[in-house]
Structure 1
Amino acid sequence: MSGYVARVRHDDPPDGTAEFDLLVRSAAKRWAEVDPLLPAPSPPKLSSYPLLTVSDEGGLPVATGTMRYSWYQPGEVGRTWGVPDQHWLTPLVGGPDPEGALDSLLTSWRDQLEELPSGTGAESSALLTWPARDVCGVRPLQRHGLQPFTVFAARRRRRGVPPSLPPRDVTIRLADTSDLAAVVGLLMEEHRYEENFGGVFVQPETAEQTRRVVGRALSRPPSWIWLAERRGRPVGLVWVSPPERARWVGPLVQSSPAAYIGYGIVAEEERGRGIGTALVSQAHHAMDAHNVSVCLLNYAMMNPVSGPFWSRMGYRPLWVTWEIRPALALR
């Protein structure tokens, strides 16, 4: 957009974060108005990542974006959860024209990606996360070819459908170490289903990596993994990380303490019978007893099952991750 100047910083600015104060206050005001669950934005920090800045004609910053690159080699856990080369932008946009400022920031990001010597081939992506209710960002994100990919949803305490009991021949209980194979089997079924939406890529190592993670979770009583069984056969689960195991989600939401649901699974042939609702009811009851203020989770935007289900359970979008593949398809 005309009138904006972009540049990249690799060192801390002489004035520290003072020059970004107006930008942070402007973004904070807009976030508070559109969504009370959004946290207060933080001033940009360089640390080990370059900072892309966009300034107005007076030299005042109106947008920043921290650029981060993640590369997952074969065999690494992260290779299951996306393409190998991932280019992330963490944007902070303010000023009187946030749409124009974001548009300029994205154009400059595209220019930076073009200059990279590698990591932007067929198995690459450009990604950023934007507040779901901050609709001023939608049009520039679309203009640059990005598409909404995953939803980070939140539920305040006691929201959603009333508590529900499982079907008569289904029991729900906390899983323990004897349930390792059952939990891993359900998770692998979920991973294979999620492959349909392009966010999961099951690798030869995925089953063993999943087994190790589940083994650690089951060895810490209570496991916070509720298992549904129909006449002794595992048919679903919900896996919660309570606040002391989900500290990473704290900065993403204004309310606390916050918990996180990593998985909510019902076997395909058992869906639509109330098992998922009963599982989540158990988890919500435990979180209420644990004084959890807000619970968060992720689901794929294109998953036809997840969005409607979690909405009925009281969850609504808080953040949306936008993505384009390959990275240089960014316009």
Structure 2
Amino acid sequence: MHNDVTATGHAARIATVDALLPAPLPFEVHDDATLLSAQVGDTTAAGLATSTELGPDSSQSIWRALTEHRLEVQLAGPDPAAGLDALLTRWDEHLSTIARPGDPECSAVVSRPSRDTAGVTEMLRHGFAPVGVIAVRPAQRMAASGPTTTPGVCIRHATPDDLETAVHLMLELQRYDAQFGRVTVRPGIDELVGKELLRLLERPEPQVWIAELYGQALGLAVLQMPDETAWIQHRVAASRIGYLSSLAVAEAARSAGVGTALAAHAHQVFDEAGADVVLLHTAVLNPRSTPFWYAQGYRPLWTGWQRRPAVR
């Protein structure tokens, strides 16, 4: 079975699924990756399996297990669901040789195009759950009408003097999101969040914004401009990408229009920077953020499926 043949068939299939998906290329196997393949009749499947490890003091450890096994998937042929099923079985066999059973700090992760629904049943059968989404909002998109912005909301650049408030808002958000599988609240999370926010606030023109309501800071938005988003550019067919890292609103101010005002301001900043699209991550099961972002003009582009522990 040839990886490039599967990639070609996969690319042709994906092109009909979502115009904002980038054209996939054949997998390149590096020293730390394993190429897996499976075939069911005329259907072929290829998977690139990789593993990465982080220390608990890494800022990225908040967003994932310390050991993360990932599988990139390409499917071609008349029965992609059967191909995925066979490929996941091959990956399970591979994981059983390298992962410790029952380790909660070891996860198996597959990212799939959200509109490519072939194989959803197979993902569930193999013990995966949809945990996160990369959502996309094309530039200048009109959002659905949301809560009326509360009079008195003022949005301004954050400064280092706002660090304590920013940390409080971010921690409140992350502890709420930890219920839904995307965030791990670790010992020392206050320090990790504080260091990252201070680094951003000390930049010459920080893209960190505070929403004040009658002088009280109740909301926070963190943006990455198009010259900072090369790390996620491979996820979307666009040249200039904005990324909305975080938007947090104090619990007491939710449903009051503070979040809507912050989102509208962020989109104006991205539009002025010439972003073709804006991306963000959201937790699938979050009953607040998911409907909020879709009301702001976003839609699912990639769905992140996770099994944790990776091997039960």
User: TM tier, shorter chain?
Assistant: over 0.9
How many Å apart are 1:179 and its aligned residue?
A: 1.7
Partner-residue secondary structure (3-state), 2:82: helix
How many Å apart are 1:164 and its aligned residue?
A: 9.0
Partner-residue secondary structure (3-state), 2:86: helix
Paired with 2:259 and 2:5, the residues of 1 have a C-alpha distance of 46
Q: Give the equivalent residue in structure 1 for 2:103.
A: 122
Which residue of the other structure, out of 69, 78, 85, is the alignment partner of 2:67? 85
Partner-residue secondary structure (3-state), 2:239: coil
Which residue of the other structure, out of 123, 126, 148, is the alignment partner of 1:141? 123
Identity of aligned residues (%): 36
Paired with 1:57 and 1:229, the residues of 2 have a C-alpha distance of 61
How many Å apart are 1:96 and its aligned residue?
A: 2.4
Bigger-Rg structure (1/2)? 1
Aligned residue-pair number? 309
Residues 265/39 of structure 1: CA separation in 2 closer, same or farther (3 Å cut): same
Paired with 2:154 and 2:207, the residues of 1 have a C-alpha distance of 16
Q: Give the equivalent residue in structure 1 for 2:88.
A: 106
How many Å apart are 1:143 and its aligned residue?
A: 1.9
Superposed CA RMSD: 2.0
Q: Give the equivalent residue in structure 1 for 2:276.
A: 293
How many Å apart are 1:226 and its aligned residue?
A: 1.6
How many Å apart are 1:264 and its aligned residue?
A: 1.0
How many Å apart are 1:27 and its aligned residue?
A: 1.0
Q: Give the equivalent residue in structure 1 for 2:139.
A: 157
Residues 148/223 of structure 1: CA separation in 2 closer, same or farther (3 Å cut): same
Paired with 1:71 and 1:24, the residues of 2 have a C-alpha distance of 28
Paired with 1:258 and 1:213, the residues of 2 have a C-alpha distance of 22
Which stretches in structure 1 are left out of the alignment for 5+ residues? Answer: 6-18
Moved more, 271-280 or 92-101: 92-101
Paired with 2:161 and 2:56, the residues of 1 have a C-alpha distance of 31
Paired with 1:57 and 1:136, the residues of 2 have a C-alpha distance of 17
Paired with 2:151 and 2:41, the residues of 1 have a C-alpha distance of 68
Residues 164 and 278, structure 1, Cα contact 8 Å, conserved in 2: no
Whichever residue aligns with residue 100 of structure 2, its letter is: G
Partner-residue secondary structure (3-state), 1:74: coil
Partner-residue secondary structure (3-state), 1:288: helix
| 1:225 and 2:208 correspond | yes
Which residue of the other structure, out of 22, 33, 53, is the alignment partner of 2:37? 53
Q: Give the equivalent residue in structure 1 for 2:184.
A: 201
How many Å apart are 1:174 and its aligned residue?
A: 1.5
Residues 101 and 310, structure 2, Cα contact 8 Å, conserved in 1: yes
Partner-residue secondary structure (3-state), 1:150: strand
Paired with 2:216 and 2:67, the residues of 1 have a C-alpha distance of 40
Residues 165/217 of structure 1: CA separation in 2 closer, same or farther (3 Å cut): farther
Paired with 2:48 and 2:3, the residues of 1 have a C-alpha distance of 14
**TM-score (normalizing by structure 2):** 0.93
Paired with 1:162 and 1:292, the residues of 2 have a C-alpha distance of 22
| 1:30 and 2:44 correspond | no
**TM-score (normalizing by structure 1):** 0.88
Whichever residue aligns with residue 102 of structure 2, its letter is: G
Whichever residue aligns with residue 122 of structure 1, its letter is: D
Q: Give the equivalent residue in structure 2 for 1:256.
A: 239
Residues 39 and 86, structure 2, Cα contact 8 Å, conserved in 1: no
Paired with 2:95 and 2:295, the residues of 1 have a C-alpha distance of 40
